[in-house]
Amino acid sequence: MLFARLAHVSQEIAATLARSRKTALLAELFRGAEPADVPIVIPYLAGRLPQGRLGIGWKVLAQQIPPAREPTLTVQDIDTRLTAIGAATGPGSQTERKRLVAELLAAATEDEQRYLLGLLTGEVRQGALDALAVEGLAAATGAPPADVRRAVMLAGSLQTVAQAILTDGPPALERFRLTLGRSVLPMLAHSASSVTEAVAKLGTCAVEEKLDGIRVQLHRDGDDVRLYTRTLDDITDRLPELTAAARELAGERFILDGEVIAFDEDGRPRSFQEISGRVGSRVDVATAAGQVPVSPVFFDALSVDGQDLLDLPFADRHTELARLVPEPMRVRRTVVNGPDDLPEAERFLSDTLTRGHEGVVLKALDAPYSAGRRGASWLKVKPVHTLDLVVLAAEWGHGRRTGKLSNLHLGARSADGSFAMLGKTFKGMTDAMLTWQTERLGELAVEDHGWGVTVRPELVVEIAYDGLQRSTRYAAGVTLRFARVVRYREDKSPAEADTVETLLAAHPEVTR
C-alpha cells in the first residue's frame, strides 16, 4: 500500500467531526489492507509507530527538506527506513539519524511529510487514536467492539490483536486471555473534588491511601518475576527489591497491581522526585538501590493460582489479595457504608495526609477490574491548594489553540517587589477565557518574542496546584506541581498577589 493513501485518509479523518464517520473511514482502509501491511498500517492510523519511539524529536525534525513531487513510498518502505533509523546508536548516531530522516523526508510529498512528522512527534491531530482504531477494526471485521477492546487490553497491544482478527476473523479474539508474564493495561481513576462527592457517587466503597510513587504491575510465574509500568515498560531489572518481595509471598503464580514508594529514616514517604529518580536509574542499579531502597504496596490482584480475577467484584479480588499479601505490603484502607459513614472516610483521608501521603482513592466494592479504562468506579481525592499569581508572559498555542495566547508564565511577588517565576500553565481555560486572555495580554504586551509575548506584570490569576517541588529551572528553587487556572482576579492588584515567602512557608517540607 502506498503511504500516500494513509496520509490522505488521515487528512480525511482530521477533516471529519463525526466519530462514526471517522470509524467508517478507518474500517474501509483496514478492510483493504494487505496482511503484510497490517502490522504497520494499524499503528500508523492510531497515530503511533510500530517501533515505538525512535530517538527523533523536534530538533531532528526542524530541518526543512523540499518535498518530492510524486508519491512513491510504500508503507513497507517507510517501515524499513524507520527501523534503520531506530537501530542507529553509539557515537555519530545523532548525525546519522538526522541524515536518514532528511533522506526519508526528501522522498515524501508535502502531504506525506506532514503525516510523517505527526507520527514521529506523536502529534497526528486527526481526532482518532487507539480507541477509534479499535472501533474501526470491529467495524471492518464484524466483531463486537467490546470484545476487540477487551482483547487489546489483555494483549496490551493493538497491532497484535489487529493482525489476529484480520487474519483469522472474530474467533481469533478468544486467544487473548489474561496470561502470566504478559502485561495488561492498568485500570485508572477519575478525579473527584471531595470525599463527600465520591461517596455520594459510589455508595458503599473502599477508601484507600493514594501513594505518590510509580504504578507497577507485578507478575510471578514460579521463579520468573516480571515488573511493568503504567505504560507497560518492563522495569524488572531496575527494582530487584520487587523480585525479592514477590518471591517472599505465599503463592507461586499471580498478577498484582500496586505502587512503588520509598521511605526516609523517619518512616515518612519520600518525595515523588526521589522515587522517580530511583526507578529511572538503570545503569548502576545497586548504588541507586542503596541510596533509595523502595517498597511495593499492593492494592489489587488480577490473577491468583491461574485464576483470572478481572471480572470478579473488587471485594472478592481484595479477599484474594489479602490471602496472598501480608498486611504491611498492602495499601491501608477502610470501608465505608455510604453517606452515613462520611465521618469515617474524612477521618481516613485526614489521617492519610498526616502520614505524608497524597490523598485517597475510593473504589466501588462491586466493580470489576476495567483494564485500560478510566472507570467511574475508582475516584481519587487530593487536597488542592490555590494562589493568586501574576502573569509575566504568555506563549502562542498550537493545534486548536493556534492564534491564541495559551501557556501562561506565572510569578509570585518577591521581597524586593519584583516577580519570581514559579512555572507555567495552559490548563483550566475555557475557549472564552482563551479569547479574553489573548486580547487582554495583547494590551499588556511589552515585547513580542515570536514564541509569545512578555507583558507588564499587572494581571492577577488564581491558580490551583497540587504541591511544591524542588526546581533547578526557576530562581525561587521551587515550582508548582500540576498548576491550572481557576479564574482571573481582575479585582486584585499585583501588590495583592501571593509572595514567594508565604508560599515556601506553606510547604516547609520541600525546602527542609
Near DNA in 255-314, by CB under 7 A: 272-273, 276-277, 279-284
Per the CB < 8 A criterion, the answer to whether 132 and 148 are in contact is no
59 binds DNA (CB under 7 A): yes
Q: Looking at beta carbons only, is 283 or 495 nearer to DNA?
A: 283
- Toward DNA, which CB reaches closer, 271 or 334? 271
Instruction: Please count the other Cβ atoms lying within 10 Å of the Cβ belonging to residue 174.
Output: 10
Which residue in 22, 98, 210, 382 is the catalytic one? 210
At residue 473, what are phi and psi to the nearest 5 degrees? -80, -35
Interface region with DNA, contact rule CB under 7 A, candidates 12-20, 63-71, 440-448, 496-504: 12-20
Out of 77, 130, 147, 197, point to the residue binding DNA (CB under 7 A). 130
Burial class (CB in 10 A: 0-12, 13-18, 19+), 172: middle
- Shortest separation between residue 36's beta carbon and DNA, angstroms: 25
Task: Kindly state whether residue 487 participates in binding DNA, applying the rule CB under 7 A.
Answer: no
98 annotated ligand binder: no
Q: Which runs of consecutive H residues, i.e. helices, occur in 214-292?
A: 240-248, 272-280, 285-291
Pattern of binders to DNA over 321-360, x per CB under 7 A? Answer: ----------------------------------------
Q: Closest distance between DNA and the C-beta of residue 307, in Å?
A: 25
Tell the residue number behind the cell numbers 499585583, with chain if given: 494
For position 511 contacting DNA by CB under 7 A, the verdict is: no
**Member of 323, 355, 374, 449 binding DNA (CB under 7 A):** 374
Shortest Å, Cβ 57 to DNA: 2
Segment contacting DNA (CB under 7 A): 17-25, 106-114, 489-497, 500-508? 17-25
Assess 473 for contact with DNA (CB under 7 A): yes
Distance between CA atoms of residues 412 and 391, nearest Å? 9
430 interacts with DNA by CB under 7 A: yes
374 is in an annotated binding site: yes
Comparing CB distances to DNA, the nearer of 68 and 510 is 510
Q: Which secondary structure element, helix H or strand E, spans residue 224, and what is its range?
A: strand 224-228
- Strand bridging mode 374-381 / 385-396: unpaired
Among positions 315, 384, 445, 510, the unique one binding DNA when judged by CB under 7 A: 384
Give the residue, chosen from 31, 36, 55, 83, that forms a contact with DNA under the rule CB under 7 A: 55
Q: Which of residues 228-247 bind DNA (CB under 7 A)?
A: 229-231, 233, 235
Q: Which is nearer to DNA, 284 or 447 (CB)?
A: 284
As a whole number of angstroms, the distance between CA 283 and CA 132 comes to 38
Shortest Å, Cβ 63 to DNA: 11
Determine, following the binding rule CB under 7 A, whether residue 401 of this chain makes contact with DNA. yes
Does the CA dihedral 331-155-89-99 come out positive or negative? negative
Q: Which residues contact 355 (CB under 8 A, 6 or more apart)?
A: 209, 268, 269
Q: Which residues contact 477 (CB under 8 A, 6 or more apart)?
A: 470, 471, 511
CB of residue 301 vs DNA: minimum separation in angstroms? 19
How large is the angle between the packed helices 38-45 and 3-15, nearest 10 degrees?
A: 30
Grid coordinates belonging to 150: 477487551
CB 12 within 8 A of CB 25: yes
User: Nearest approach, Cβ of 92 to DNA (angstroms)?
Assistant: 5
Rg (C-alpha) for the chain, rounded Å, is: 25
Per rule CB under 7 A, is residue 56 in the interface with DNA?
Answer: yes
User: Which of the residues 85 through 114 are near DNA (CB under 7 A)?
Assistant: 89-95
3-state helix, strand, coil split of the chain in percent (to 5) is 40, 25, 35
Question: Looking at beta carbons only, is 23 or 304 nearer to DNA?
Answer: 23
Q: Is 210 considered catalytic here?
A: yes
Using DSSP, state whether 180 is helix, strand or coil: coil
Sort residue 480 into left (φ over 0), alpha (ψ -120 to 50) or beta: beta
The residues annotated with a catalytic role in the active site are 210
Q: Residues annotated as binding site for ATP?
A: 208, 215, 230, 259, 299, 374, 380
